Every structure is written in C-alpha cells, then in structure tokens.
Amino acid sequence: MDAIIGRYKVSMEETGLVLRHPTGLSFDLEPNEVLGLWNFINFYRQPLTDKQIEADPQPRAASTRDTEQVIDYKKRWRERQT
C-alpha cells in the first residue's frame, strides 16, 4: 500500500517501511526502526500539533471595516498619482 505524506511517498515493502522524497532521497526503515519512529512521534504528538497550529492558523474572515479601509487607501493613492 502506498501513501503520500507531505512530499514523501510512503510504502510498505517486505523489508519494512520505505519513505521516498521526490529528489531521490530514500529511507528504508526496518520494522524495529519504524516502531521506534512511531514511539517518538507519539511522545511528541501534542507539541508537534501545537507547532502546526502556530505555523498554519485558521484564516480569519475579513471584516467590512477592514475592506473599507483598503478601498479608501487605494483611492487616496490613485488621487496622488494624478
């Protein structure tokens, strides 16, 4: 079974888990290495989740007031050009 995680193609082979990056870099992990990685990720799951939320916050809706300010600014800029 293959999956895509971010930029990596992940597949289960007879020898274990294989991670392939589009540049050609490949990691062939044996079962004990996969379980070690799994334990590491599980241990740091909450901090990783917090970092993801900080890096990619939910977009906020633009208020009408903000939009009006942008329109007014552009109008003043255009008037200065003429």
pLDDT per position as a tens digit, 22-69: 999 999 999 999 999 999 989 988 888 887 766 655 555 555 555 554
Position 28, amino acid: D
Does residue 78 or residue 4 have the better pLDDT? Answer: 4
Adjacency order of strands within the sheet including 2-5 = 2-5, 8-12, 17-20, 26-29
Query: CA-to-CA distance for 29 and 37, rounded, in angstroms?
Result: 9
**Average pLDDT of span 3-25:** 91
Q: Kindly tell me the burial class for residue 10, based on how many C-beta atoms sit within 10 Å of its own C-beta (0-12, 13-18, 19 or more).
A: middle
Question: What is the structure's pLDDT at 46?
Answer: 87
Does residue 64 or residue 79 have the better pLDDT? Answer: 79
pTM, rounded to two decimals: 0.54
> Does residue 18 have a pLDDT over 80?
yes
